[in-house]
Structure 1
């Protein structure tokens, strides 16, 4: 992967429990449910490639709503529970939900490819 192809800024986020100033987990007083928020894991350079109509139709057979392929340099510890936010200049970020992070075919340690969906849930 050439560095020039990685021209988009993407923030990797994970869902985490909200905590108060003492470090205690915040819970809803009525339901007892834990409050959660998206927290930044890293901001990286990426290649964002929209799928062609043909690729989109083929992906519909096995994966729902895969609309883009995002490629980043290899990082350990990423999983499909995270979300990717494409940071655009002067505007709101576009939220993508990765189906998975696939290692490259050669070494498995150079880059990761994430087939992503976006839309209704927007990773939330």
Structure 2
């Protein structure tokens, strides 16, 4: 993957829960920005989509990002915001096969309905 092909900006968000200082019984739950990175986001081909559906998966796209220690910490509990749409991270991201420190591939599924509000 050539780094010049990373032409899309994606935002990785993580879910947090924190107590309100004024009311300790009240929990604040929200998605906050973890990082914004350059990526190559590609929709799956028709063949890949059909294969994913045959095993019950809702995979829609893949995002390839440059490796960094921050990117290496991205996991399936987070979500991706790209082109005004939320995506679930399907499984933990995968490192490249060669030296494992060049890029990371993130499999993206349709976001949960409650995220689309």
Q: TM-score, normalised by structure 2?
A: 0.82
2:8 maps to what in 1? Answer: 8
In the TM superposition, structure 1's runs of 4+ consecutive aligned residues that sit over 4 Å from their partners are 23-26
Counting matched residue pairs gives: 111
Quick one: distance in 2 between partners of 1:64 and 1:42? Answer: 26
Q: CA RMSD in A?
A: 2.2
Query: How far apart, CA to CA, are the structure 2 residues paired with 1:112 and 1:42?
Result: 14
**5+ residue gaps in structure 1?**
28-33
Secondary structure, aligned partner of 2:47: helix
Q: Cα 1:13–1:103, aligned 2, differ >3 Å: closer, same or farther?
A: same
Whether the 8 Å CA contact 2:65–2:103 is kept in 1: the answer is yes
How does 1:27-66 map onto structure 2 within 5 Å? 27=26, 34-62=27-55, 64-66=57-59
* Structure 2 residue ranges without an equivalent (≥5): none
1:1-124 mapped onto 2 (5 Å cutoff):
1-20=1-20, 22=21, 27=26, 34-62=27-55, 64-74=57-67, 75-86=71-82, 88=83, 93-100=84-91, 101-119=93-111, 121=112, 124=115
Quote the offset at 1:106 in angstroms: 0.6
Distance 2:73 2:22 in 1: 24
TM-score, normalised relative to structure 1: 0.78
Tell me which protein shows more strand as a share of its residues: 2
SS at match of 2:72: coil
Task: Name the structure 2 match of 1:30.
Answer: none
Q: Secondary structure at the match of 2:81?
A: strand
Give the CA deviation at 1:24.
Answer: 7.4
